[in-house]
Structure 1
Amino acid sequence: MTTTAHPTSPYLADMGRRSLARDAVLVVAATALIAVSAQLVIPLPFTPVPITLATLTVMASGAALGPLRGTLSAGLYLLIGALGAPVFSHGQSGVLLPTFGYIVGYVIAALVVGQLARRQADRRVGPAVGLAVLGTLALYVCGVPWLALSLHIPIGDAIVLGVLPFLIGDALKIVVLSILLPSWWRLTDATRTRMRNESDAA
């Protein structure tokens, strides 16, 4: 795997040597984090779509793990929930939920964000904002049509139920992600530099 600025890896999760076993652990850990964050829910009485931290976790995982492992973690979350594990919001499962389209969107968002992180869009605030915006749009593009089909309502009504109530919250998540990722990179760079200096001194 080639990188430009960081010879070890272009992704935040890879400070050490990569291995198949380590990648598998990271994927499962990210899946578990998505499942836990999906239970941190603020229900809204006028829509079946709740406010949840899972969207932020999915995009952070996609950036930290890259497109392959990030997509696998979101895909594993989708799979185990579709098969009946109570990992979706409110402990739900299955594919007939009105919100299942958003969960499909998790997979697409992780892929999009991971691809942009591969191009170093997660290292500065400006590009990180674009990364987070595109990841959020992927969630809407997948979630809103499914919501309309599930509830048998026009797409405009689905936008009212599945987009408009979440714009402020998603804007806050975009701000958090665009600050968190570059800050995480600065910390990672400082740690790598310190480890390299200690190794040279030894």
Structure 2
Amino acid sequence: MLNKLFYKSLMILMIFISINTLTFSKEVTISKDVSGFSSLLINSSGTVYLRQGNKDSVKIIIEKNLIPYLDVDNSSHELSLSIEKNRPEASQVKYYITMKEIKNLKSVNSGKIMILTPLRTKQLTLAVENSGLIDIDKVYNTGVTNLLLKNSGTININDLTSIDSNLEVKILVKSILII
């Protein structure tokens, strides 16, 4: 009898916890109906998980309290993602993006772009400003690949196939030590 009472109490507690977790969850998932972009800009901290696919899509996992500060803009073939500045929670935002065509990727202000599929493109510009990151495993580019690093940041490309490539580095420092 005591065992049955214990298990019933435990079940009720588990149901209560499950309902509260769903009701008071801090994160929400937002889908945006956008298309026709070949450039991506993340202009705040947060992480973009990017795939190249047959259809453009945007899904964002964000804390409820950040929704009023979220800006998703699609104009001139560029998808721009940002959170109003001075929001420390912005680093927790996750953007899941699928793009049909990828020409330009730019990370500014600590944003990260993690490319999950090999990229196939006719031209590509990768730019990182102010401690951002772009990480790609494979790029197959039938044109020129342009890489731009400004102030600080990282571009990781494990395997790049390209007709030609250009690298531009702009670092504002007092001295540079090359070993």
Higher strand fraction: Structure 1 or Structure 2? 2
Q: What TM-score comes out, normalization by structure 2 length? A: 0.25
Higher helix fraction: Structure 1 or Structure 2? 1
Q: What TM-score comes out, normalization by structure 1 length? A: 0.23
| Pair member with larger Rg | 2
